[in-house]
Structure 1
Amino acid sequence: MTDDAPAPPVSAPPPSAASAGEAAGPAGLSRPRALLPDLAPWHASADFRRLWLAGLISNFGTFLTFVAVPVQVKDLTGSAAAVGAIGAVELVPLIVFGLYGGALADAHDKRKLILSTEAGQGLLSAVLLLNALLPEPAVWPLYLVAALASALGALQRPALDSLIPRIVAHEHLPAAALLNSLRWTVGGVAGPALAGVVVAYAGLGAAYGADVLTFVVSVVLCLRLAASPAALPHSRLRSSGETPMAAKPSLRSIAQGARYAWSRKELLGTYVVDLAAMFFAMPLAVLPFLADELHAEWSLGLLYAAVPAGSLLVSLTGGWTSRIHRHGRAVVLAAAGWGLAIAAAGIARNVWLVLFFLALAGGFDMVSGIFRGAMWNQTIPDELRGRLAGIELLSYSVGPQLGQVRSGGMAAWRGVRTSVWSGGLLCTAAVALLALRLPGLMRYDVRTNEHAVRLRAGRTGTAG
């Protein structure tokens, strides 16, 4: 079950647990409490608890495989380009099935989509396990499974994203976003850190086997989710006496979502900025080779865990995000910070400095993700959430896949360190240029944006 970082508030929401503590508690306790995540969605929604736990467990196993696959490709081929090619084989399924998955999520029961794709990903992990247990493991199953897993993840993610606003109250969406990012980063830190030890001492089969078990537990939890049928279009159909129908998945419905995204230039800006940041400055494909260059093979798991560790720190102290209203500007500044931190990691010669800068980059990436999620979740109409989530998936998934291809190819051509630091500098330059070309993104303010105000008013009216 995949994840990214979502969302803060539309305007002034009702007091959260954190803000209540800040108002009533002693001065010494108010500031720490204001930084801690708000647990209101966890307490209010049983389905959110189930989905959160399922994601935590399956993400932990997924990160084991996330480290094991490139290590196995490296061991079998010895080529940085071959490791980078994993991102290339994942790219086309992401584009095709991400867009179609968004249309499916708007037209069908989201629970069924989540269940079927989660079970499918578990079966693919079993294929990796069987291949690893062969006397002579083959390389081609690794690429095949990567492509199929990418397709299933692309089909699942829009259903997951569009389900959250249904099972969580509107005023709790920022807190739910922070809790979801916390869920991802816990697995992102523990999974890769443990994977380095598991792969080194227990073997690749143990990592893949653990991933299979986590998917089994996740599917059992998702079986208890309530049904979530397709959203119905405008209520005017009901008043006219017609039977409202959800848009069927088709090229036409996908195009409708794309037209809406194109009409929202500030929304479009978040996609483009994230694409640029991930394309130029995603170093994951070369981390096994960077560990070798640092003469610290033992650090591979830590290198993979460093970015999620920085994200985790921001997740644990993200209460401050609810007091930021200029979300577009925050996205741009955080993306530029990500690029500078990656460039510093490429220049540093000490392994601990490299880990520090990678963690700093992860913190910037989480800040960007939180505010991107805020703009998406709190301004997009319910009947379009699936299709826009499909477009969103492309922005934060295609970029990293292309980034792996770029970093792997550059490392093969000019060296590992050049690949990392040049990508970071190119990212910062690209983000600065986009900021100049996207004034709507820089002006965005959640308190005054017409789409945010309208959606909040609609949710408040429905609740009333």
Structure 2
Amino acid sequence: MDSAGETASSRSATRELLASPDFLRLWLVGAFANAMRWLELLASGLFAYEATGSPLAVTAVVAARQLPQLFLGAFAGAVSEAVNRKLIVMLALIVPASVSTVLAILATTGHLALWHVALGNLLSGSMWATEMSTRRRMVGEVAGPHRIVPAIALDSTTSAATRMIGPLLGGLAFEWLHMKGAYTVTALVQFIGAFAMAGLVHTQTTRPLALGRIVRDIAEGLAFARTKSVLLLVFGITIVTNTFAFAYSSLVAPLGLGEFGVSPSLVGLLAAAEPAGALIGGLLIAMGIVRMNRQLTFAGGAALFMCALLVMALSPSYWLALTVMIVGGFGTAGFGNMQSTLMLTEAPPEMRSRLMGIVTVCIGTNPLGVLAIGVLSDRLGPRIAIVVMAMLGLVLTATLTSVLRRRQG
């Protein structure tokens, strides 16, 4: 099939997906839930910076939201083989909605403290750890083998959109409604999402949940991955990108407020710049307009993002930094799309949930980078901290890609 035919086929598959009620439900619930997560993440960072003036405090609060992915991601993948994934997704909406309700009440009564926000982030983050192995896997299941690539591209593109919209709303909500308004909005949206998920028709073959088998399942997944260089590349680059590159997001509030001297709303706009580029790039991939080698798109996209971080951190102008981060978003589009696509196309069905769970653990290394960049920022300032982390990330990305390509060859 020529490139025009492939593009037409991809567009036809996308139209079919959008005509599927179950796909639409999973897609839209994921979109709204992820937007609320990013809204809370930025709002909590702004709250921490205004309360303490310390970049380290900001990074600690942000890390609390993402730390559970490191410790619970692989277990979530194994559990999702035994427990109905629809139920897990619903709990992953209800629990954070309940936490947000409590925090909204504390903010309204004037009793909200920084430790409340950190604890809330930790509890809600525990539910976020199930995303890759449950809802994202269900997206692939509903799409079917012949539509996995456009389905994941569409879902990844939407994820980029939520990372753009969430911070924008977070900055506006914090500036206009403060924490009580931000938490009220996120609680309502997530409760509505759980109600919508109740109507999803999802069939799943489950097996008895044996706690003793979970560790064995994870070990089997790792053993299988060791036989395929492509999967090891996904694990390795995911760790590097989340630890050394995406850690920058925890310093957006100190960078915007302290270095560029802009308002909370413009801080939200800066946080939304990279996801905006990822949204455009993801749409080009989903529509079949951009077609490249999957492994090259994955690793090269991560490298482009890190280069953009270097330029952004050294930029003398807020608006130049904003523009550069939009360009960097094209890199994260390739990285994010191919991360799930490579896992779902290179692994057999019986391995997918546990391998996606391991990917979640790799993503969960982000808080380690967040804490590291926070310490560096406390000593060297936000700009230099981002430069140091991005440079290390580029070196590790090039090394991993070279080693694993030689092994594959």
2:301 corresponding residue in structure 1: 334
**Bigger Rg over Cα:** 1
206, 216, 220: which is aligned to 1:252? 216
Residue number among 90, 98, 101 corresponding to 1:126 in the alignment: 101
Change (3 A) 1:366 1:441: farther
Counterpart for residue 269 of structure 2: 302
One of 11, 14, 36 as aligned partner of 1:38: 14
1-side partners of 2:406 and 2:194: how far apart?
42
Aligned counterpart for 2:44 among listed residues 43, 65, 69? 69
- Does the CA contact (< 8 Å) of 2:73 and 2:364 recur in 1? no
> Is the 8 Å Cα contact of residues 68 and 364 (structure 2) preserved in structure 1?
no
Q: Distance in 2 between matches of 1:293 and 1:19?
A: 47
* Amino acid of the structure 2 residue aligned with 1:366: A
Residue matched to 2:252: 287
> Does 1:437 find its partner at 2:403?
yes
The alignment's TM-score, normalised by the length of structure 2, stands at 0.91
Aligned equivalent of 2:8: 19
**What secondary structure is seen at the aligned counterpart in 2 of 1:263?**
coil
Which ranges of structure 2 fall in alignment gaps of 5 or more residues?
none
Q: Is the 8 A contact 1:247 1:253 kept in 2?
A: no
Q: 1:323 to 1:198 in 2, by over 3 A?
A: closer
Q: How many Å apart are 1:93 and its aligned residue? A: 2.3
Match of 1:449 in 2: none
Which residue of structure 2 aligns with residue 375 of structure 1?
342
Compute the displacement of 1:89 (Å): 3.3
Alignment correspondent of 2:313: 346
- In the superposition, relative to structure 1, how do residues 409 and 382 fare at CA in structure 2: closer, same or farther (>3 Å)? same
**Paired residue type of 2:255:** L
Shift of 1:156: 4.2
Give 1:151-190 correspondences, 5 Å limit: 151-190=126-165
Q: What per-residue deviation string (whole Å, max 9, x for no partner) do you get for residues 228-264 of structure 1? A: 32357xxxxxxxxxxxx78765222222222222222
Structure 2 distance, partners of 1:135, 1:325, is 53
How far is 1:414 from its partner? 0.6
Report if the CA contact (8 A) 1:60-1:188 is conserved: yes
Q: CA deviation at 1:62?
A: 2.3
Distance 2:243 2:139 in 1: 28
C-alpha separation between the residues in 1 aligned to 2:4 and 2:206? Answer: 27
Residues 1:266 and 2:241 are matched in the alignment? no
Question: Aligned AA for 1:264?
Answer: K
Q: Deviations along 1:249-298, whole A, 9 cap, x unmatched?
A: 52222222222222222201111112112222231111111112112235
For structure 1, list consecutive stretches of 5 or more residues without a partner in the other structure: 1-10, 21-33, 233-244, 444-464
What are the equivalent positions in structure 2 for 1:65-464 lying under 5 Å apart?
Answer: 65-90=40-65, 92-230=67-205, 250-281=214-245, 282-291=247-256, 292-297=258-263, 298-319=265-286, 324=291, 326-395=293-362, 397-439=363-405
* Deviating more after overlay: 342-351 vs 323-332: 323-332
CA contact (8 A) 1:39 1:175 kept: no
- The answer to whether the Cα contact below 8 Å between 1:407 and 1:419 also exists between their aligned partners in 2 is yes
In 2, the alpha carbon distance for the partners of 1:276 and 1:149 equals 24
Contact 1:329 1:442 in 2 (8 A): no
**Which segment drifts farther, 286-295 or 56-65?**
56-65
Distance of 1:413 and 1:352 partners within structure 2: 26
Whether the aligned pair in 2 keeps the contact of 1:13 and 1:171 (CA below 8 Å) is no
SS at 1:121 equivalent: helix
Measure, in 2, the Cα distance between the counterparts of 1:36 and 1:142: 45
Counting matched residue pairs gives 405
Q: CA deviation at 1:356?
A: 1.1
Q: Distance in 1 between matches of 2:128 and 2:309?
A: 27
Q: Partner of 1:368: helix, strand, or coil?
A: helix
Pick closer, same or farther for the CA change 1:215–1:196 going to 2, 3 Å: same
Aligned-partner residue type, residue 159 of structure 2: W
Question: 2:45 touches 2:62 (CA, 8 Å); kept in 1?
Answer: no
Contact 1:129 1:209 in 2 (8 A): yes
State the secondary structure of the residue aligned to 2:98. Answer: helix
Counterpart contact for 1:37–1:315, Cα < 8 Å: no
Offset at residue 82 of structure 1 (A): 1.0
Q: State the shift of 1:306 in Å.
A: 0.8
Output the amino acid matched with 1:99. A
**Superposed displacement of residue 422, structure 1:** 2.2
* Distance (Å, rounded) in 1 between the aligned partners of 2:114 and 2:218: 35
Whether the 8 Å contact between 2:90 and 2:198 is mirrored in structure 1 is yes
The root-mean-square deviation of aligned C-alpha atoms, in Å, is 2.6
Residue type of the partner of 1:205?
A: K
Q: Does the 8 Å CA contact 2:157/2:333 hold for their aligned counterparts? A: no
Decide whether the 8 Å contact of 2:30 with 2:135 is kept in 1: no
- Kindly, what percent of the aligned residue pairs are identical? 22
Partner residue in 2 for 1:447: none
